[in-house]
Chains A and B, each alone.
Chain A
């Protein structure tokens, strides 16, 4: 969090000054007190104080970031907007006494986070986050909330249950949390201040084109550079040329790549995923499979009238199919033959 009074000369590398650190800690204290007033309890009449304090701490922090010396950090106004949405949604999520609203506020946080990912040129992860989190996980949460909600009183269905309406040890939790936050921020600024401005040289652009032969080929086919019967043999991403091979005598042939052919975010994520981490990809699939089976086993309801083991089920089966055959009309001869064949 950059203080407005920070001088450019004394710390060009992002290391904080004493003023800056004290502003960070003051914002932490104000945020802690604000959150304390906002946490749910019965007859909470002090929540406006909490809203003012917490919103003030958040707004002051964001304003200090936006107007301070780090204003030219390559972060535009959408970062501040999305950060405000994310933090506000998160605070409302943990302070709203009704679980469904908490889940809806978490969707707001997810969407704001996806917007931040777009700011960071991670478009694929932004959409994956919205699809997986807001689309799948949160819907599951909403279903479970609605299935597992107990009505505290049939005559007053809108009253809150005791455990939703009151927080558990709010003072101790808030103090612990914000001490952790202050320590994290202090360490973070000291640590990143010691880091080099850019950790490593940026990789040359479009280097993944050398393995994306299909993309190069479809881009070349849209132009007139490629003839019938030719295919892309290899791509030199640095020189931006492709070698075309065919059965004709002038093969191999060198053609330039189209100027608008670039590797986008999905391409580079896919190349990295399949070239560098193929085993992890398989393990991730196995984890999803195991989780699906585990969830089905855990959430299955034991039925009292169901047969206890599969043996008795099999034992009943011929009898059932027999009666089915007996009742079946005569024109379903093939079905009877099929069932009989299965039994033998």
Chain B
């Protein structure tokens, strides 16, 4: 492995991670298409992945990468289930608008 990251380089990556996370967060709040909302959660996953790999490089071990493998697994499972749910909802009411399902709130 290469040299561990310096704290300034770590700050670079954490900054990028925070920016990507917030962009995904804003996208999740503003978009009304169900599929785009799930895409925005994937964007937030990416941000978390960058932070994890950067911290792993800062500490000089590979446990961040191993943890990311598990996160990737869960993300793949989540994407499969979420898209199946979207397909199911679309069959029941042929629209991807999240507002159409607003009566689901309590």
* A233 contacts B by Cβ under 8 Å: no
Q: How far is the CA of A2 from the CA of B8 in the complex (A)?
A: 9
- Cβ 8 A contact of B39, one of A103, A148, A273, A280: A103
B1 touching A272 by the CB < 8 A rule? no
A193-201, A209-217, A310-318, A330-338 - interface stretch: A193-201
A-B contact count (CB 8 A): 273
- Cβ 8 A contact of B72, one of A13, A132, A149, A164: A132
Q: How far is the CA of A115 from the CA of B20 in the complex (A)?
A: 15
Residues of B within 8 A of A184 (CB): 18, 21-22
Residues of B within 8 A of A125 (CB): 49, 53, 65, 68-69
- Cβ 8 A contact of B1, one of A1, A61, A268, A290: A268
B27 touching A94 by the CB < 8 A rule? yes
Q: A216: shortest Cβ distance to chain B, in Å?
A: 18
Query: CB-nearest residue of chain A relative to B29?
Result: A173
Number of interface residues of A (CB under 8 A): 101
Asked whether A148 and B19 contact (CB < 8 A) given A14-B8, A94-B26, A290-B77, the answer is no
A45-53, A83-91, A220-228, A235-243 - interface stretch: A83-91
* A30 contacts B by Cβ under 8 Å: no
B77 touching A291 by the CB < 8 A rule? yes
A144 touching B39 by the CB < 8 A rule? no
A174-182, A252-260, A319-327 - interface stretch: A174-182
B87 touching A87 by the CB < 8 A rule? no
B66 touching A94 by the CB < 8 A rule? no
A83 touching B84 by the CB < 8 A rule? no
Majority-rule SS of B interface residues: helix
A116 touching B13 by the CB < 8 A rule? yes
B53 touching A122 by the CB < 8 A rule? yes
* B103 contacts A by Cβ under 8 Å: no
Q: How far is the CA of A170 from the CA of B20 in the complex (A)?
A: 18
Q: How far is the CA of A21 from the CA of B98 in the complex (A)?
A: 38
B23 touching A79 by the CB < 8 A rule? no
B58 touching A199 by the CB < 8 A rule? yes
Residues of A within 8 A of B16 (CB): 83, 86-87, 116
Query: CB-nearest residue of chain A relative to B83?
Result: A144
Query: Can you identify 28 A-B contacts, CB atoms within 8 angstroms?
Result: A74-B5, A75-B8, A75-B12, A83-B12, A83-B16, A87-B20, A94-B23, A122-B56, A128-B72, A129-B49, A136-B76, A137-B75, A137-B79, A140-B79, A144-B83, A144-B87, A168-B32, A169-B29, A173-B30, A176-B29, A192-B14, A198-B6, A203-B60, A277-B70, A288-B77, A291-B76, A291-B81, A292-B80
Residue numbers of B with Cβ under 8 A of A are 1-16, 18-27, 29-33, 35-36, 38-40, 42-43, 46, 49-50, 53-54, 56-63, 65-66, 68-70, 72-81, 83-88, 90-91, 94-99
Known: A140-B83, A268-B1, A291-B78. 18 other contacts (CB 8 A): A70-B9, A72-B8, A87-B16, A94-B31, A106-B39, A125-B49, A125-B65, A132-B75, A164-B36, A167-B31, A177-B22, A181-B22, A202-B60, A205-B1, A265-B1, A265-B65, A295-B83, A301-B91
